[in-house]
Amino acid sequence: MMLALSPGAVFAQSGGDQRAQDQKQVPPVAADATKDNQRKVDEFAEAAQAINGPAGNPECVWLGRRVVNLMWRDDLDTAFRHLDLYDRFGCPGGHVQAAFRCLVRFGGQIDNKVAETLNSRIQACWINPNAQPQPGSTPAAQPPAAASQPAPASQPPAK
């Protein structure tokens, strides 16, 4: 009977050591969340430094960028609900309009399949709503790669 309890006691002790080791390691998800939180803090600080007035306040930046994002994705009902909150915080509605106008100007450079392209462009337009795209920098202005290459010559059938 004593032998039957011994392995259990040894297992329980080694399990405790394993838990202590697991707690020391930071899971990758937590590390990604920490980086994401730091990026958000940096974006709010950047907006506060670049924008004078309430449009640079963190609550205005957060809500305003969400409104612009939702408008871009044609979720107007949700955008208007967020806009109501934006107004309640005393944030300037003209800044949302200017940022959305900027976003539309850069529309050809936004890849809808890559969320970070849209988010970074919204942040840039929020910081500087008067930004203009560089001439010829839109994908629509550049010729497609397939159209600029000559068609392959046809080869006679093998005999």
Are the C-beta atoms of residues 147 and 68 closer than 8 Å to each other? no
pLDDT for the residue 151: 45
pLDDT in tens, the chain (159 residues): 455 555 555 555 555 555 555 555 656 677 777 887 888 888 888 888 989 899 999 999 999 999 999 999 999 999 999 999 999 999 999 999 999 999 999 998 888 788 888 999 999 999 999 999 887 654 444 433 434 444 445 455 555
How confident is the model at residue 26, as a pLDDT? Answer: 56
d(CA 48, CA 51): 6
Q: Is residue 71 part of a domain?
A: yes
The DSSP letter of residue 74 is: T
Say what the pLDDT of residue 35 is: 81
Which structural domain range is residue 125 located in?
Answer: 39-131
* Cβ pair 55, 61 in contact under 8 A: yes
Q: Looking up tokens 């107004």, which residue turns up?
A: 87
Tell me if 96 sits within 8 A of 83, measured CB to CB.
Answer: yes
Q: What is the pLDDT of residue 22?
A: 53
Alpha carbon distance 154, 156 (integer Å): 7
pLDDT score, position 159: 53
Number of domains in the chain: 1
